Amino acid sequence: MAKGRTEMEVGADGVAVITIINPPVNPLSVDVLLSMGENFGQALRRDDVKAIVFTGAKGKFSGGFDINAFGKKGNWEEPEVGYLSKVFLSDTLESARKPSVAAIDGLALGGGLELAMACHARVSTPTAQLGLPELQLGIIPGLGGTQRLPRLVGLSKALEMILLSKPIKGQEALDLGLVDAIAPSDTLVNTARLLALEIAEFRRPWIKSLYKTDKLEPLGEAREILNFARVQSLKQAPNLQHPLICIDVIEEGIVSGPNAGLLKEAMVSRELQSSETSKSLIHVFFSQRATSKVPGITDLGRAPRKINKVAIVGGGLMGSGIATTLILSNYQVILKEVNEKFLNAGVDRVKANLQSRVNKGKMTQEKFEGTISLLKGVLDYEQFKDVDMVIEAVIENLSLKQQIFADLEKHCPPHCILASNTSTINLNLIGEKTKSQDRIVGAHFFSPAHIMPLLEIVRTHKTSPQVIQDLLDVGKKIRKTPIVVGNCTGFAVNRMFFPYTQSALLLVDHGVDPYQIDRVVTKFGMPMGPFRLVDLVGFGVAIASGISYLENYPDRCYRSMLLPMMVEDKRTGEAVRKGFYLYNEKRRASPDPEIKKYIEKSRSIAGVIPDPKLMKLTDKDIIEMVFLPCVNEACRILDEKIAVKASDLDIASVMGMGFPTLQTWSKVHILEAR
């Protein structure tokens, strides 16, 4: 069956409208492109056609080239390198004797925008998203985008849009000259028709963007801009090659002309499309979208129930972060605390979270007022009688949580979802004192909850599928990536990563320097090494969760005395500016030579004589010793069916722990090769 098509309609005005039809986002599949080629050829040959308009069905121009096609040998291959870009878009469409105009609604991304830029003019709705986000997939724009975008908007802006994969809206595109006119959705195609006719009748210039030069900076200045971009790219992503390659391709076009640029773009694109980087990033793209497809839940045809009002119990760091996330997505929220002082602190934290958005220019003062008005602080359960969902976010204390859930059962309506933000405690125990097991669920956010993109939804054997479906819908509305997992100590994310710290502690007892471990792991791509992470979460939390793992997974826990000994000396982490590192007032971490003293003591308690071989471990050895136990744990999680699929665990590692996306592919290979 064909994957998408185009349809052509020729109006009495002599304009042929070619519509891309490939739901939901009209990607340019091979079938779409072949059908487009045929229709366009016909439009050129027909005497009753004076001009052509390209548009997309159902309010979306195109989400770009079909990502499914990358790295796969399909039944169609370009007859020559760069055929689509050079022969179709440049020599046929852009050089045609009939003008084309793109009518852009919704989105024109990647190949979608590249098609539009090869047209002789573009009309967009004010809110449409236009961008070249290919770099986030490990590839570069491959249909002329590296050449046409700089010529339409100037080099600096083009580099910003391409290197940051950052789309712009229609209105900004007009100001920059990327589009020629703005029109609302209902008159978009008509405006494009009129524009196309004006070009055909030479009442408007007939512009080929590939050969425009007026927006390009003089050569010397252009080189400086490109070199600055190289430095920035290396700083932001030292492990990535393709942004640098993309800059080289842009430079080729500026120095040697657009045709040389197009050729280089085509050759490099072909290579990058089969690179490991691209495979990893495309795997992440699809895996992220697959997390919300849960067999036995989302395939039952159930609609999510509407959640209007949410209550949060506990206004600490997590509770206030969760409240922030919810009000930002227009949920009415009640925040409950035990006394006035804690309540005010919680509400103030929510305000501070919003204020930081205002300070960064991401929110207006007016929107701030509107958003904060959705939050109400309370000291009792009086107003819980009409809430649709409660999220408990108090400290990790089982008996306290049990009492809260028993109270919630009394005060909330029978349909209300009872969720806990616990990161480790078994949900069956939390709900033990209630008769509401079917509506008890885990809603595990990651700190800071209003920023981190992952939501771990934990189900017990008794949680009803409807409750999961409802929570998945809330997750989507608050723009989190949800993964649905089973109930066990640490659930999926924390359980998968508990060996991260454990292995590091074991290595230190056996002679490896903790700062070396952190350095190597950070170089590998993690946001921070295990010791810096322990400092950040605090030794109290690290020891408490360590005990919990020791109780539940004793066969694979390492009992190091290092943390408890440091706690005795009140070295408890970043909060007190003293843990494995020392912290200055700007929270900058520096290694502390005194750590040696604790390490030596820990080794002697463990009865370990440092092995000289272990002191000479290579970076690769350290990475394998820290991460392979995590992969083993991930395998156990899959075996026990705590996770639905391996790719959910990849997404959990990337979004919950900051695991580098480029390593994901190899991790999946390890999981799949078992």
Ligand X SMILES: C[C@H](O)CC(=O)SCCNC(=O)CCNC(=O)[C@H](O)C(C)(C)COP(=O)(O)OP(=O)(O)OC[C@H]1O[C@@H](n2cnc3c(N)ncnc32)[C@H](O)[C@@H]1OP(=O)(O)O
Residues that bind ligand X (CB under 6 A): 24-25, 27, 63-68, 107, 109-111, 114, 133-134, 137, 141-143, 145, 289
Q: How far is the CB of 55 from ligand X (least distance, A)?
A: 16
Distance between CA atoms of residues 601 and 581, nearest Å: 18
Q: How far is the CB of 208 from ligand X (least distance, A)?
A: 19
Give the nearer residue to ligand X in terms of CB position, either 453 or 564. 453
* Contact between residue 550 and residue 557 where contact means Cβ atoms under 8 Å apart: yes
Beta-ladder partners of 38: none
Going 39 to 44 to 49 to 51, the CA torsion angle's sign is: positive
Give the nearer residue to ligand X in terms of CB position, either 64 or 253. 64
Give the nearer residue to ligand X in terms of CB position, either 46 or 293. 293
| C-alpha distances in Å from residue 300, one per residue of 303, 357, 417, 472 | 9, 39, 19, 14
Closest CA to 314 of 411, 403, 384, 394: 394
Give the nearer residue to ligand X in terms of CB position, either 64 or 261. 64
Q: How many helices (H) and strands (E) in the chain?
A: 26, 19
Distance between CA atoms of residues 643 and 483, nearest Å: 8
The residue type of 572 is: T
Q: Residue 402 class from Cβ within 10 Å (0-12 exposed, 13-18 middle, 19+ buried)?
A: middle
7 is catalytic: no
Give the nearer residue to ligand X in terms of CB position, either 179 or 268. 268
Per the structure block, which two tokens stand in for 354?
């919003």
Name the residue with the smallest CB distance to ligand X: 110
DSSP structure string for 445-509: E-SSTTT--EEEEEE-TTS-HHHHHHHHHHHHHTT-EEEEEE-STTTTHHHHHHHHHHHHHHHHH
Closest CA to 447 of 421, 427, 482, 470: 421
Closest CA to 653 of 667, 642, 639: 667
- Is residue 170 classed as helix, strand or coil in its secondary structure? helix
Place of tokens 């770009």: 64
Catalogue the E-assigned strands of 158-215: 168-169, 181-182
Distance between CA atoms of residues 141 and 139, nearest Å: 7
Give the nearer residue to ligand X in terms of CB position, either 135 or 512. 135
Distance between CA atoms of residues 519 and 581, nearest Å: 13
Beta-ladder partners of 51: 15
Q: How far is the CB of 60 from ligand X (least distance, A)?
A: 8
Q: How far is the CB of 74 from ligand X (least distance, A)?
A: 13
Distance between CA atoms of residues 310 and 62, nearest Å: 37
The residue annotated as part of the active site, out of 9, 38, 134, 624, is: 134
Cβ contacts of residue 192 below 8 Å, gap of 6+? Answer: 53, 55, 101, 102, 103, 123, 183
Place of tokens 């709900």: 431
Give the nearer residue to ligand X in terms of CB position, either 289 or 620. 289
Give the pairing type, strands 581-583 and 589-591. Answer: antiparallel
Q: How far is the CB of 459 from ligand X (least distance, A)?
A: 22
String of b and e for 144-159 (b: at least 16 CB within 10 Å)? bbbbbbbbbbbbbbbb
Q: How far is the CB of 68 from ligand X (least distance, A)?
A: 5
- Residue 68 DSSP one-character state: G
114 is catalytic: yes
Give the nearer residue to ligand X in terms of CB position, either 289 or 415. 289
Give the nearer residue to ligand X in terms of CB position, either 129 or 424. 129
Q: How far is the CB of 449 from ligand X (least distance, A)?
A: 21
Per the structure block, which two tokens stand in for 258?
């657009």
Q: For residue 354, report the phi and psi dihedrals to the nearest 5 degrees.
A: -70, -40
The residue annotated as part of the active site, out of 38, 94, 114, 201, is: 114
* Contact between residue 334 and residue 384 where contact means Cβ atoms under 8 Å apart: yes
Q: How far is the CB of 267 from ligand X (least distance, A)?
A: 13
Q: How far is the CB of 67 from ligand X (least distance, A)?
A: 4
Q: How many CA atoms lie within 13 A of 11 on its CB side?
A: 15
Q: How far is the CB of 37 from ligand X (least distance, A)?
A: 15
Q: How far is the CB of 450 from ligand X (least distance, A)?
A: 20
* Contact between residue 458 and residue 425 where contact means Cβ atoms under 8 Å apart: no
Give the nearer residue to ligand X in terms of CB position, either 24 or 361. 24
Q: Residue 538 class from Cβ within 10 Å (0-12 exposed, 13-18 middle, 19+ buried)?
A: middle
- Is residue 308 classed as helix, strand or coil in its secondary structure? coil
Give the nearer residue to ligand X in terms of CB position, either 63 or 431. 63
Place of tokens 């920023």: 451
Give the nearer residue to ligand X in terms of CB position, either 25 or 372. 25
- Residue 205's CB: how many other CB atoms inside 10 A? 10
Q: How far is the CB of 81 from ligand X (least distance, A)?
A: 13
Beta-ladder partners of 485: 458, 643
Q: How far is CA 347 from the centre of its chain?
A: 28
Per-residue HEC secondary structure of 592-632 comes to: CCCHHHHHHHHHHHHCCCCCHHHHCCCHHHHHHHHHHHHHH
* Contact between residue 393 and residue 322 where contact means Cβ atoms under 8 Å apart: yes
Give the nearer residue to ligand X in terms of CB position, either 64 or 499. 64
Q: How far is the CB of 69 from ligand X (least distance, A)?
A: 8
What residues act catalytically?
114, 134
